[in-house]
Amino acid sequence: MCGVFVTLNKLEGSGHRLRGCIGYPYPVKDLLTAVGESALNAAFDDPRFPPVSKNEMDGILVEVSVLTPPETIKAEHPKDIPGEVVVGRDGLIISRGYNRGLLLPQVAVEWGWDREEFLAQCCYKAGLPPDSWLLDGTEVQRFQAIIYSEESPRGRASRQELS
């Protein structure tokens, strides 16, 4: 079993914008079930967006990220945590109390973030101040992903390498 996220990206000119992204960060279901449920949830239940219409699918690229189990980053001092994060390889989960944020590895690459900005943005996604990763009691986890993305809407999917 693996964690999995399904991302829907709407084509816009030569680029794209996020249209939905939901998944399971931890391996709680078999991969086929997790992909199917995540795809439906990304299309219809992402609270950031209205449901995807059938007509929209002709302009949406589907991306599936299969995740390794998250591992807690253990550093002697919180300031050492960025040295344990590799942009282009690692995704992040930051947890503090009831707040939790997850960013897939491709997000930092797409936005051109360095390690510290990646950590800050993951804190922001968790609803925390951007430097919360430095505080005692904040858990920082990393994971990797194997990413498959459609080459065109409703088209062939291929494995994506991050650079």
Same domain, 51 and 108: no
Distance of CA 49 to the CA centre of its chain: 16
User: Across all residues in the chain, what is the average pLDDT?
Assistant: 94
Same domain, 105 and 95: yes
Domain range for 110:
71-143
- Domain containing 104 — which CATH number? 3.30.1490.150
Same domain, 46 and 89: no
Same domain, 139 and 149: no
Percent of the chain at pLDDT exceeding 90: 88
pLDDT at 147: 96
Same domain, 75 and 131: yes
pLDDT at 163: 67
pLDDT in tens, 86-113: 999 999 999 999 999 999 999 999 999 9
**Whole-prediction pTM value?**
0.92
Helices (H), the chain: 31-44, 105-111, 115-125
pLDDT in tens, 64-85: 999 999 999 999 999 999 999 9
Distance of CA 109 to the CA centre of its chain: 11
Question: Residue 1: pLDDT above 80?
Answer: no
Residue where the block lists tokens 């950031």: 48
Percent of the chain at pLDDT exceeding 70: 99
Question: Residue 53: pLDDT above 70?
Answer: yes
Q: Tell me the C-alpha distance between 46 and 51, whole Å.
A: 8
What six digits make up the tokens of 118? Answer: 């990646």
Q: Tell me the C-alpha distance between 54 and 104, whole Å.
A: 26
Would you give the DSSP letter of residue 71? Answer: E
Number of domains the chain is built from: 2
- Domain containing 38 — which CATH number? 3.30.700.20
Mean per-residue pLDDT for 2-24?
Answer: 93
